[in-house]
């Protein structure tokens, strides 16, 4: 603000610059901190108007002042500076979703759908525990809507993890039961409260997993009423708002329904599609479909004489086809073959 008015570009009108200098107004600070009407009375009568003077002051202020930033923008920039990227731990899957599950802004809502036993929960557990094992200041919330997540399964999934923060990973994974939509809203309110008040020394929630969302929204859907669809849309908008506002990565697991064909899939043998109807996939940032490949798509297993320990056969049983059915953050119809060792 101590910049001299004579050094500004574009320069002030020469006559005004001379008159300001005559009353000892020589720097930008001298000019902008004097009320325009008081300054006008100090200048020679008729040399300028109040409007012209205010325009000159605005011009000078725009040149020397720092760019303004609201409190919300400042908070978002501070959160982004400490933001950790959430990856699935499977490079092929990360590439399907544009490089990482969380995305550059950190607040993606990703849907993983598939038949029972295709590895949805196993993949979600691997993603969460892999991240917590690497980032000691992050926490995760697991919203269990069926009560099926056991301590034994968590311990088994944790045994395959490695990282500098594995000792405290399970302590930073918080399990919440939600058997109805009202309980789910209460959990979201608690997460929002924690994200708003968390101090820098606390583990910050970075991931929310809903396993599965189908029992929460499915019972209210009806072909004869729009009320269930409205409730589904409202809930998913709440998730997106929470994700975007607080850079929270949300992973939503969805079951499947029988269909003659799945038009979104690249494979003709896909006879199931994501549950909750076609509109649900447009309420998330991406829909990832997991499926077991048919026997015809697998390589022939080796004979017993050549494969004494059965590793080849077991590996093929663990194979899954991961397919992006719809996405606003990456290219659709990308496909990868991955191995998921723990079935649901």
- Angle between helix axes 14-22 and 50-64 (nearest 10 degrees) is 90
Distance set, CA 275 to CA 28, 147, 192, 222 (Å) = 64, 20, 28, 13
- The confidence score (pLDDT) of residue 306 equals 41
Give kind and range of the element (H or E) at residue 234.
Answer: helix 227-246
Vertex 218, ends 212 and 223: CA angle to 5°? 155
Q: Quick: pLDDT tens for 213-231.
A: 999 999 988 877 789 999 9
Q: Quick: pLDDT tens for 78-136.
A: 555 567 888 887 888 888 787 777 776 678 999 999 998 888 999 999 999 999 999 99
Burial 126-165 (b: 16+ CB within 10 A, else e): bbbbbbbbbbbebbbbbbbbeeebeeeebeebbeebeeeb
Mean pLDDT in residue range 249-265: 82
Distance set, CA 37 to CA 51, 62, 124 (Å) = 10, 20, 65
- The confidence score (pLDDT) of residue 150 equals 92
Burial 283-300 (b: 16+ CB within 10 A, else e): bbbbbbbbbbeeeeeeee
Cα separation, 262 vs 294, in Å, equals 15
Read off the pTM.
0.71
pLDDT at 334 over 70: no
Distance set, CA 105 to CA 14, 67, 277, 336 (Å) = 48, 22, 28, 24
Residue 20, judged by CB atoms within 10 A of its CB (0-12, 13-18, 19+), counts as buried
Q: Three-state DSSP class for 333?
A: coil
- Enter the DSSP assignment of 34: S
For the record, the structure tokens of 18 come out as 């001379």
Q: Quick: pLDDT tens for 152-176.
A: 999 999 998 999 999 999 999 999 9
Sequence ranges of the domains in the chain: 14-64, 76-295+315-341
For the record, the structure tokens of 122 come out as 């196993």
With beta carbons less than 8 A apart as the criterion, state whether 254 and 218 touch: no
- Angle between helix axes 181-197 and 227-246 (nearest 10 degrees) is 20
Residue 77, judged by CB atoms within 10 A of its CB (0-12, 13-18, 19+), counts as exposed
Secondary-structure class of domain 76-295+315-341 per CATH: alpha beta
- The confidence score (pLDDT) of residue 135 equals 92
Specify which residues 115 forms β-bridges with.
Answer: none
Strand pairing report for 204-211 and 249-254: parallel
Task: Name the maximum alpha-carbon separation found in the chain.
Answer: 107
Strand pairing report for 138-144 and 173-177: parallel
């Amino acid at each position: 603000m101590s910049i001299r008015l004579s050094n500004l570009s574009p320069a002030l009108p020469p006559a005004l610059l001379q008159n300001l200098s005559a009353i000892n107004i020589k720097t930008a600070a001298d000019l902008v901190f004097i009320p325009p009407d008081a300054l006008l009375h100090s200048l020679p009568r008729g040399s300028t108007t109040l409007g012209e003077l205010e325009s000159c002051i605005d011009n000078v202020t725009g040149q020397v002042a720092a760019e303004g930033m609201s409190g919300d923008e400042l908070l978002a920039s501070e959160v982004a500076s400490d933001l950790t990227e959430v990856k699935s731990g499977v490079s092929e899957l990360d590439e399907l979703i544009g490089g990482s599950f969380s995305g550059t802004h950190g607040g993606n809502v990703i849907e993983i759908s598939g038949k029972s036993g295709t590895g949805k929960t196993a993949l979600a557990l691997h993603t969460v525990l892999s991240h917590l094992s690497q980032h000691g200041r992050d926490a995760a919330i697991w919203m269990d809507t069926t009560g099926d997540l056991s301590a034994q399964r968590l311990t088994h999934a944790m045994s395959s993890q490695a990282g500098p923060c594995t000792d405290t990973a399970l302590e930073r994974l918080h399990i919440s039961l939600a058997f109805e939509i009202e309980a789910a809203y209460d959990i979201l309110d608690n997460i929002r409260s924690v994200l708003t008040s968390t101090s820098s020394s606390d583990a910050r929630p970075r991931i929310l997993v809903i396993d599965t969302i189908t029992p929460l929204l499915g019972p209210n859907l009806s072909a004869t009423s729009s009320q269930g669809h409205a409730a589904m849309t409202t809930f998913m908008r709440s998730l997106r708002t929470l994700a975007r506002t607080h850079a929270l990565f949300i992973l939503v697991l969805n079951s499947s329904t029988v269909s003659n064909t799945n038009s979104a899939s690249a494979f003709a043998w896909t006879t199931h599609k994501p549950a909750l109807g076609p509109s649900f996939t447009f309420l998330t940032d991406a829909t990832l479909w997991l499926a077991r490949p048919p026997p015809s798509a697998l390589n022939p297993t080796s004979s017993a004489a050549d494969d004494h320990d059965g590793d080849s056969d077991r590996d093929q049983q663990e194979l899954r086809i991961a397919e992006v059915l719809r996405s606003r953050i990456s290219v659709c119809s990308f496909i990868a073959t991955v191995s998921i060792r723990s079935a649901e």
